[in-house]
Amino acid sequence: MKIDLSGKVAVVTGATGELGRVMARTLAACGAGVAIHYLQNETKARELREELVAGGGRAIAIQADITDKSSVFKMRDAVSDQLGAADIIVTNAVAQYSWVSVLDQGIEDYESQFRTCVLQNVLMAKAFVPAMIASGSGRVIAINTECAMQNFPSQSAYVSGKRGMDGVLRVLAKEIGEHQITVNQVAPGWMISDKYRESGTEHQQTYQEKVPLKRRGTDQEIANVVAFLASDLASFISGAYIPVCGGNVMPAI
Q: Tell which residue, 93, 71, 76, has the closest CA to residue 9.
A: 76
Q: How far is residue 183's CA from residue 189's CA, in Å, rounded to a whole number?
A: 20
CATH fold of 9-244? Rossmann fold (3.40.50)
Query: What is the per-residue pLDDT for 193?
Result: 96
The secondary structure of residue 101, as a DSSP letter, is -
Q: Tell which residue, 198, 199, 216, has the closest CA to residue 207.
A: 216
Q: In the structure, what pLDDT confidence band is assigned to residue 79 with cuts at 50, 70 and 90?
A: very high
Q: Tell which residue, 208, 199, 196, has the closest CA to residue 245.
A: 208
The secondary structure of residue 232, as a DSSP letter, is G
Per-domain residue ranges of the chain: 9-244
Average pLDDT taken over every residue of the chain: 98
- pLDDT tens-digit map of 94-122: 999 999 999 999 999 999 999 999 999 99
- Spatial neighbors of 201 by CB under 8 A, at least 6 apart, are none
Query: What is the per-residue pLDDT for 59?
Result: 98
- pLDDT tens-digit map of 10-55: 999 999 999 999 999 999 999 999 999 999 999 999 999 999 999 9
Query: What is the per-residue pLDDT for 1?
Result: 78
